[in-house]
Amino acid sequence: MNALLLPGNSQRHEKWIEDLRKALASHFDITETQHYRHWQSGEEKADVDYELSVAQSKADQLKPYTVIAKSIGTVIAAKGTAEGKLHPNKLILLGIPINGGAPQAPFREWLEKIKLPIVIVQNTNDPLGSFSDVRSAFEFKNRNILYVELPGNTHDYLDFRAIENLI
């Protein structure tokens, strides 16, 4: 099994995604990380459609694979999977940013379309969407979603052991 790791928007996630890759190395044959174009260009936000095209080209060489995504990466992963551009066996979504980055209506529609296993991991009091807010925003009769609450009041997801246990 292989993995595609999609980080959050901020350039500080460049180190985070590499640390996560190292922490998960024993679980995957190949682990591909994405480094967003706007980190080099100085733009403020990731271009979701552009980054999705990059993710798609990386994923095409990884089959079979799991996607582990954080923040804006969750938008890229959900959109790409719902649109049939990404074909993972499983999605692990960390810190869905419903209060700043993830359009709730399209995100909900994407999740409803996805039939593969999805794990949504959210910190209890994540400032970009608490666990209870995210769960209520995306709770519907989709039995393939597992909701995992981690203690915390930040948008950081540094408990790599907890993430490792979800694989």
Give the integer Cα–Cα distance in Å for 24 and 163.
9
Dump the DSSP string for 70-88: ETHHHHHHHHHHHTTS---
Give the integer Cα–Cα distance in Å for 71 and 7.
7
Continuous segment of H or E residues that includes residue 148: strand 145-150
| CATH 3.40.50.1820, domain 2-165, yes or no | yes
- Count the alpha carbons within 13 Å of 149 in the hemisphere toward its beta carbon: 12
| Token pair for 167 | 């694989």
Residue 103 banded pLDDT, cuts 50, 70, 90: low
- Is pLDDT above 80 for 96? yes
Q: Whole-prediction pTM value?
A: 0.95
How many Cβ atoms are within 10 Å of 30's Cβ, its own excluded? 11
Give the integer Cα–Cα distance in Å for 16 and 90.
21
Give the integer Cα–Cα distance in Å for 99 and 93.
16
Residue ranges per structural domain of the chain: 2-165
Residue 104 banded pLDDT, cuts 50, 70, 90: confident
4 pairs with which residues across the strands? 32, 67
Complete edge-to-edge strand list for the sheet that includes strand 90-94: 31-33, 2-6, 65-70, 90-94, 118-123, 145-150
Quick one: pLDDT at residue 28? 95
Quick one: pLDDT at residue 99? 87
pLDDT in tens, 36-56: 999 998 888 999 999 999 999
Torsion, Cα of 26, 5, 129, 150 (10° steps): 0
> Cβ-count burial of 125 within 10 angstroms (0-12 exposed, 13-18 middle, 19+ buried)?
middle
